């Protein structure tokens, strides 16, 4: 059937609307653009099932695009087939179509001479929209893939950034059971059972300890009524009964014993129930509690009251010192009883530093931390003087738990703004942070209330009695019950004022409703703020108090009738039975928290009404975590008195059906969420988050700011003795050195260009840091030896490198990460390019897009690195910069799809560079050139500091596998014959191609050199030459002598990163100063060798004969065989 032609064939997209990329192209105004502008294109292949073809005839695809013949059958793309795939016809070569262009097409049968015979029998034209770099039009329903045994799972071309990848090309062919097993394997199975021990660390143990009149200590398994201990105890009991899981609780026992005997008695008593007490000094404990309640608690609830001008103490340094010490006591208490296979779970903000102190003594400890309070906004958290310490303490754990994602989000933002950490996401829904090579998992799951256990307590006789007492005091009245912590964050004053406004606005309720407010004390039984207490008393109409076991109403100021009172306040210790009695007697619960992590009181209120016919109402603050899950509640803004007053009225006038429906929604949620399931789920993920085997944990820093770095098992400080020994005993040495951050201090944070350039790409500037004169002197000394090849690899352009290193003779340079290079022994002074005719057309497109983003992203800049363009956003707002970077990267990948470039996103930058250009490629080329010119290198020292240098390390590690290092007689080298072997006076030593595994144990000398925890032995920077000679593992005075017992058995290929951090390098140095010190030591070796050569040369003279040592003159003229014609050391000098 003849194809349909017309305007439809020319439409720009399937929807008739221009795509986003079309708009981008339209808005691009590039210098020098014309008709020949380069447009991204898609490679298109065709597969079709076409059996109705006679012998000798062929099938072609013809379409609206010029490359498909523009509907001329004779100009279409001819398809091919063979016996194996017939009746499927395929295109052997791709057809190029502009990206996002819509193309209409049909298949046509042609005679053997190419003349048109018949169009395919379809009513309408076929069509497609070009997308991606390559696409296949499968009009054969996948028959070609089936016939050829190709599974598209293996050809998805997914980016390496995707975590979920097919482990087998046969995944799509799995049955249901196999697929289910595969899905479960993504999460990872864990088994926590009777053989495991869980250590639960909390501020206070979930039991009561008391001493009777005879001085004997007793244990009351009734949990303390304050805090969350009442909710923990049922969970622990059920785990011990049903799961046979051993849970050891560590915490303050609630008392301060006066002597050692009492402490021992308490420890013995608690040990019978798997409780470990912590006994902090009383005075320090009081300071610690004050710091937690008056300093950390407000900040974590975004209340900055301690920064008020009237605050007596802003920093509270003594409180912070007590906080750190108490956390240390908790850590010490658990470390004595645990080992690395146990699970340690730390609870709440009182113990935020404890993970760090545990990690100091048990590097592989499996530690989890759960924050029950909210995590503050980044601005609030950044105001803390000890923000780095607290953040580091939390990040020392393997898993961090939060009640809700908004709290976790605040934590992630703080990590981004303070430590520059970005969240990472993994298959199975895991979220976390990559912290110095460690993966810290983030888990969001709020604490589940023990509904079943609370039902049993609520139905007890004691609670029934308490309920009757409350109802007897307020007969025939609607009771609004409240239970809150006695502090400003509970919104108590706001609640009282709103209730009074409600009674004024709705006078019909006067005398028919009452508000009963119970208040519990602060942490650790601290006294309440007297000023706040007085303000509450002023707002209340009357008070409630327990007198001789009976709840009584106490009139304000000791007199008057209480019948007309509306607000009743009780400020004394309340047992759980009394609280449940109030809840069962009440008709509604009111929560007006201005900030609260979860608030278990609404959950307990729902549990208290489990068996009552009438439906109770919940009024909860939208700033309380429970409002996000108890969806049947009436949510209010506690700061809006008018809204709160109206909500009181709504609770009273609500239809019974709606009230019942809301309550049932809340009841089902509370009943269905089990605290045991919450507990086990957290532990399972904690086990999954444990540190991996085969890695080593290094500590860096001091005191509370100590951090942990996860590195490979063989990662250690660069052993200077091994380097010097390998240098002396080698003849073909290669030095591969980065510049900024290695030879010179990295000052890129000093040079910033925030304003978008007004012109084109030629206006972009680049700033860098050259090495100092001492480093240049060391490099010159190394280059003076013809056996050394020194190559500087940098991301800077050729002009900058020439300006910095042009004065160093015989030095090799690699600019723009190796895109341009010059190696004196092969290229002389001429620069060579890694690619013959590079296409830089992409730069105009990339620059224009980056330019647009720079103008709209404050703090960003564009950097031109020759073969690469970089959009930097290190000084932009971290979150906004990251969002802009993600969007920019998406645009660049779409726009530059058909160019031979790579788009890389890193920490603070988006880079576009030519594909296949990196320092690793340059290192491979340089070592290959050295091998061709002088033979294989027998000594390599490779030092760098940043992500681009990792390619360099990997290349060296791949070329020189440590397992292949063996001692063997040195074979030939093509280096200059003026250099007679190694610097050692012993026989030369070299590495061959194979070794046994035992050799790895002998590489690093046991003494001398750089230690694992400190820097170079002695302060090398401040030493004189004489001092320096004696400071490096036996001194440089003996560098001319061979030490066959240790150093000569070491490795000869060293990859070293600057800074103790995860890296492909095998060694590290702490900073650029230590790099300079290593170069200085190598320079001294070189100078010593030059002096020895000079002495040896001067020992033979035409007139003086042999003047060596104290020997007598042998003769006046040496034989010709003794003369060193051509052995001048000028090459080396």
20-51 per-position pLDDT tens digit: 444 444 444 444 444 334 567 888 999 999 98
Provide the pLDDT for residue 487: 87
**The predicted structure's pLDDT at residue 961:** 54
Helix (H, G, I), strand (E, B), or coil: what is residue 921? helix
Binning pLDDT at 50, 70 and 90, where does residue 166 land?
Answer: very low
Summarize the chain as % helix, strand, coil (round to 5): 40, 20, 40
For 1054-1063, what is the mean pLDDT?
89
Specify the range with the lowest mean pLDDT, choosing from 281-295, 340-354, 817-831, 1109-1123. Answer: 1109-1123
- Which pLDDT belongs to residue 311? 47
DSSP labels, 591-643: ---SSBS--SHHHHHHHHTTT-SSPPEEEEETTBGGGGT-TTSEEE-TT-HHH
- Copy the structure tokens of residue 794: 């940098």
Q: Are 771 and 739 in contact (CB under 8 A)?
A: yes
Mean pLDDT of 517-545: 81
Of the given ranges (384-393, 469-478, 905-914, 1039-1048), which has the lowest mean pLDDT? 1039-1048
Query: Are residues 863 and 766 in contact, defined by beta-carbon separation less than 8 angstroms?
Result: yes
**CA 760 – CA 864 distance, rounded (Å):** 11
Lowest mean pLDDT among 6-15, 326-335, 719-728: 6-15
Cβ 402 vs Cβ 412: under 8 Å: no
pLDDT of 915 higher than 90: no
Which range has the worst mean pLDDT, 280-294, 745-759, 825-839? 745-759
Give the model's pLDDT for residue 157.
41
Please give the order of strands across the beta sheet that includes 861-864.
861-864, 868-872, 909-914, 901-906
Lowest mean pLDDT, pick from 157-166, 278-287, 948-957, 1052-1061? 157-166
Residue 296 in this model has a pLDDT that exceeds 80: yes
From residue 577, give the alpha-carbon distance in Å to each of 583, 587, 599.
10, 18, 18
Q: What is the mean pLDDT of residues 546-573?
A: 84
Q: What is the DSSP letter of 558?
A: G
Q: What angle is formed at CA 249 by the lines to CA 247 and CA 252, rounded to 5 degrees? A: 175
Q: How confident is the model at residue 1129 (pLDDT cuts 50, 70, 90)?
A: very low
- Specify the range with the lowest mean pLDDT, choosing from 857-871, 949-963, 980-994: 980-994
Check residue 546 and report its DSSP letter: E
User: What's the pLDDT score for residue 395?
Assistant: 94
The distance between the two most distant Cα atoms of the chain, rounded to a whole number of Å, is 132
What is d(CA 1038, CA 1050) in angstroms, rounded to the nearest whole number?
18
Q: Tell whether the model's pLDDT for residue 1070 goes beyond 70.
A: yes
- Average pLDDT, stretch 456-461? 91
Tell which wins on pLDDT, 952 or 429. Answer: 952
- Residue in this structure with the two tokens 């509604």, named with its chain if needed: 588
Instruction: Report the mean per-residue pLDDT for the chain.
Output: 80
Task: Answer yes or no: are the C-beta atoms of 804 and 1108 closer than 8 Å.
Answer: no
Contacts of 576 (CB under 8 A, 6+ apart): 225, 230, 457
Sign (positive or negative) of CA dihedral 1010, 1011, 1013, 1018: negative
pLDDT of residue 746: 76
Q: Which of 49-53, 278-282, 689-693, 901-905 has the lowest mean pLDDT?
A: 689-693
Between residues 1023 and 809, the one the model is more confident about: 809
pLDDT grade for 345, boundaries at 50, 70 and 90: very high
Q: Is the pLDDT of residue 338 over 60?
A: yes
Instruction: Name the H helices within 768-817.
Output: 773-783, 798-805
What's the confidence (pLDDT) of residue 18? 40
- Give the pLDDT of residue 555: 86
The total number of residues shown for the chain amounts to: 1133
Distance in angstroms (rounded) separating the CA atoms of residues 1088 and 1037: 9
What is the DSSP pairing of strand 1067-1069 with strand 567-571?
Answer: unpaired
pLDDT value, residue 777 = 93
The token pair that represents 579 in the structure block: 């609280």
Q: Which residues contact 1048 (CB under 8 A, 6 or more apart)?
A: 725, 729, 967, 989, 1042
Is a pLDDT exceeding 70 seen at residue 445?
yes
Q: Average of pLDDT values for 108-134?
A: 87
Q: CA 741 → CA 73, 435, 567, distances in Å?
A: 63, 21, 68
- What is the band of 170 on the pLDDT scale with cuts at 50, 70, 90? low
Q: Which of 802, 501, 752 is nearest to 642 (CA)?
A: 501
Least confident window among 25-39, 209-223, 403-417:
25-39
- Residues 158 and 179: their CA atoms lie apart, in Å, by 20
359: enclosing H helix or E strand: helix 354-361
Confidence class of residue 348 from pLDDT cuts 50, 70 and 90? very high
Run of H or E including 389 = helix 387-395
CB 362 within 8 A of CB 326: no
- Distance, in Å, from the CA atom of 983 to the CA atom of 985, rounded to the nearest integer, reads 7
For residue 292, what pLDDT band results from cuts at 50, 70 and 90?
very high
User: What pLDDT is recorded for position 171?
Assistant: 60
Residue in the structure block whose two tokens are 């983030």:
442
Report whether pLDDT(1016) > 70: no
Asked if 256 and 283 count as a contact pair (C-beta separation under 8 A), the reply is no
Q: For the residues of 946-1013, what is the DSSP string, one character each?
A: SHHHHHHHHHHHHHS-GGG--EEE-----S-TTS-S-SSSS--EEE-S---GGGGGGSS-SSSS--SS
> Residue 104 — pLDDT band, cuts 50, 70, 90?
very high
Read off the pLDDT band of 622 (50, 70, 90).
very high
Amino acid 620: pLDDT: 97
Distance CA(1083)–CA(180), nearest Å, equals 63
The pLDDT of residue 54 is 86
| 480: nearest Cα among 636, 647, 667, 639 | 647
**For residues 756-784, average pLDDT:** 76
Q: What value does the mean pLDDT take over residues 390-413?
A: 94
Q: 3-state DSSP call for residue 26?
A: helix
pLDDT of residue 507: 94
pLDDT of 972 above 50:
no
| Better-scored residue on pLDDT, 243 or 775 | 775
| 1021 HSE (CA, 13 A, CB side) | 8
pLDDT surpassing 70 at residue 651: yes
455: left (phi over 0), alpha (psi -120 to 50) or beta: alpha
Q: Which of 12-16, 103-107, 744-748 has the lowest mean pLDDT?
A: 12-16
Of 438, 436, 355, 435, nearest to 401 (Cα)?
Answer: 355
pLDDT at 260: 93
Give the model's pLDDT for residue 1042. 39
Determine the pLDDT at residue 1012. 34
Residue 50 contacts residue 120 (beta carbons within 8 Å): yes
N- to C-terminal Cα distance for the chain? 85
As a dihedral over the C-alpha atoms of residue 348, residue 351, residue 357, residue 362, rounded to 10 degrees, the angle is -40
The answer on pLDDT for 216 being more than 50 is yes
**b or e along 908-932 (b: 16 or more beta carbons within 10 Å of the residue's beta carbon)?**
bbbbbbbeebbbbbbbbbbbebbee
């Amino acid at each position: 059937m003849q194809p349909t032609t017309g305007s439809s064939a020319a439409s720009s997209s399937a929807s008739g609307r221009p795509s986003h990329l079309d708009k981008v192209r339209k808005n691009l105004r590039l210098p020098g653009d014309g008709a020949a502008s380069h447009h991204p294109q898609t490679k298109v292949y065709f597969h079709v099932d076409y059996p109705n073809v006679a012998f000798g005839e062929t099938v072609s695809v013809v379409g609206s695009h010029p490359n498909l013949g523009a509907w001329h059958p004779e100009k279409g793309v001819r398809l091919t087939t063979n016996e194996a795939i017939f009746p499927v016809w395929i295109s052997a070569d791709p057809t190029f179509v502009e990206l996002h262009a819509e193309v209409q097409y049909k298949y046509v049968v042609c005679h053997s001479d190419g003349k048109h015979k018949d169009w395919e029998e379809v009513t309408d034209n076929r069509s497609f929209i070009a997308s991606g770099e390559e696409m296949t039009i499968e009009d054969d329903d996948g028959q070609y893939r089936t016939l050829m045994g190709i599974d598209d799972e293996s050809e998805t071309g997914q980016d390496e950034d995707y975590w979920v990848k097919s482990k087998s090309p046969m995944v799509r062919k799995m049955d249901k059971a196999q697929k289910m097993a595969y899905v479960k394997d993504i999460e990872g199975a864990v088994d926590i059972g009777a053989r495991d021990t869980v250590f639960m660390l909390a501020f206070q143990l979930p039991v009561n300890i008391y001493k009777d009149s005879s001085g004997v200590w007793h244990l009351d398994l009734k949990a303390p009524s304050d805090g969350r201990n009442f909710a923990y105890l049922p969970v622990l009991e059920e785990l011990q009964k049903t799961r046979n899981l051993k849970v050891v609780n560590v915490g303050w026992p609630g008392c301060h014993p006066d002597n050692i005997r009492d402490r021992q008695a308490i420890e013995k008593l608690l040990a019978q129930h798997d409780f470990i007490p912590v006994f902090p000094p009383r005075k320090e404990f009081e300071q610690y509690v004050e710091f937690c309640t008056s300093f950390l608690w407000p900040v974590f609830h975004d209340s900055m009251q301690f920064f008020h001008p009237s605050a007596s103490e802003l920093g509270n340094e003594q409180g912070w010192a007590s906080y750190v010490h108490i956390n240390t006591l908790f850590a010490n208490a658990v470390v004595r009883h645990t080992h690395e296979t146990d699970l340690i779970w730390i609870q709440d903000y009182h113990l935020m530093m404890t993970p760090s102190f545990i990690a100091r003594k048990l590097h592989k400890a499996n530690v989890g931390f759960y924050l029950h309070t909210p995590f503050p906004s980044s601005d609030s958290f950044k105001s803390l003087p000890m923000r780095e310490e607290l953040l580091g303490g939390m990040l020392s754990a393997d898993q961090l738990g939060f009640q809700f994602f908004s709290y976790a989000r605040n934590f992630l933002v703080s990590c981004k703004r303070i430590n520059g950490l970005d969240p990472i996401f993994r298959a199975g829904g895991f979220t976390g942070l990559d912290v110095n090579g460690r993966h810290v998992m983030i888990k969001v799951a709020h604490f589940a209330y023990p509904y079943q256990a609370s039902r049993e307590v609520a139905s007890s006789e004691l609670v029934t009695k308490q309920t009757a007492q409350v109802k007897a005091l307020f007969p025939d009245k609607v009771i609004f019950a409240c239970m809150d912590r006695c502090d400003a964050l509970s919104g108590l004053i706001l609640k009282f004022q709103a209730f009074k406004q409600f009674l004024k606005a709705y006078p019909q309720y006067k005398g028919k409703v009452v508000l009963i407010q119970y208040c519990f004390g602060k942490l650790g039984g601290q006294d309440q703020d007297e000023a706040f207490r007085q303000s509450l008393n002023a707002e209340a109409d009357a008070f409630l108090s327990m007198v001789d076991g009976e709840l009584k109403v106490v009139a304000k100021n000791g007199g008057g009738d209480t019948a007309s009172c509306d607000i009743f306040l009780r400020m004394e210790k309340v047992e759980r039975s009394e609280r449940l009695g109030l809840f069962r007697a009440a008709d509604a619960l009111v929560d007006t928290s201005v900030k609260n992590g979860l608030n278990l009181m609404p959950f307990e209120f729902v549990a208290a009404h489990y068996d009552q016919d009438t439906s109770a109402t919940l009024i909860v603050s939208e700033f309380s975590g429970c409002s996000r899950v108890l969806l049947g509640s009436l949510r209010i803004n506690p700061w809006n008195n008018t809204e709160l007053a109206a909500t009181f009225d709504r609770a009273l006038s609500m239809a019974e059906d709606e009230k019942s429906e809301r309550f049932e929604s809340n009841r089902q949620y509370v009943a269905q969420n089990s605290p045991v399931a919450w507990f086990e789920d957290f532990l399972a993920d904690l086990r999954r988050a444990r540190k991996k085997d085969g890695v080593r944990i290094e500590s860096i820093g001091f005191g509370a700011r100590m951090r942990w770095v996860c590195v490979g098992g063989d990662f250690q400080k660069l052993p200077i003795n091994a380097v010097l020994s390998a240098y002396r005993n080698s003849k073909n040495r290669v030095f591969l050195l980065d510049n900024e951050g290695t030879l010179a201090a990295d000052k890129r944070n000093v040079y910033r260009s925030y304003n978008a350039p007004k012109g084109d790409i030629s206006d972009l500037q680049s700033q860098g840091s050259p090495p100092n004169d001492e480093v240049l002197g060391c490099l010159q000394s190394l280059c003076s030896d013809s056996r050394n090849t020194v190559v500087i690899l940098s991301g800077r352009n050729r002009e900058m490198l020439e300006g910095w290193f042009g004065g160093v003779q015989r030095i090799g340079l690699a600019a723009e990460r190796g895109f341009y290079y010059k190696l004196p022994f092969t290229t002389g002074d001429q620069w060579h390019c890694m690619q013959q005719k590079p296409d830089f057309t992409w730069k105009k497109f990339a620059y224009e897009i980056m330019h647009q983003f720079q103008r709209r992203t404050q703090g960003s800049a564009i950097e031109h690195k020759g073969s690469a363009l970089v959009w930097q956003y290190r000084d932009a707002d971290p979150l906004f910069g990251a969002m802009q970077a993600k969007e920019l990267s998406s645009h660049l990948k779409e726009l530059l799809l058909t160019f031979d470039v790579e788009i890389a996103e890193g920490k603070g930058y988006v880079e576009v560079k030519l594909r296949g250009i990196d320092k690793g490629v340059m290192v491979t080329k340089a070592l290959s050139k050295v091998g061709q010119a002088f033979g294989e290198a027998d000594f390599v020292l490779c030092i760098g500091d940043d992500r681009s240098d990792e390619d360099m390390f990997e290349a060296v590690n791949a070329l020189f596998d440590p397992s292949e290092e063996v001692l063997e007689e040195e074979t030939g080298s093509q280096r200059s014959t003026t250099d007679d072997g190694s610097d050692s006076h012993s026989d030369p030593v070299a590495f061959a191609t194979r070794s046994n595994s035992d050799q790895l144990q002998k590489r690093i000398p046991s003494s001398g050199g750089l230690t694992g925890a400190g820097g170079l032995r002695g302060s090398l920077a401040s030493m004189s030459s004489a001092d320096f000679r004696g400071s490096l593992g036996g001194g440089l005075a003996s560098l001319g002598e061979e030490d066959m017992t240790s150093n000569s058995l070491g490795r000869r290929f060293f990859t070293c990163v600057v800074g103790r951090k995860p890296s492909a390098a095998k060694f590290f140095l702490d900073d650029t100063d230590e790099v300079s010190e290593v170069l200085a030591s190598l320079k001294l070796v070189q100078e010593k060798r030059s002096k020895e050569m000079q002495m040896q040369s001067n020992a033979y003279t035409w007139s003086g004969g042999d003047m060596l040592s104290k020997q007598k003159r042998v003769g006046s003229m040496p034989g010709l065989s003794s003369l060193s014609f051509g052995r001048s050391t000028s090459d080396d000098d």
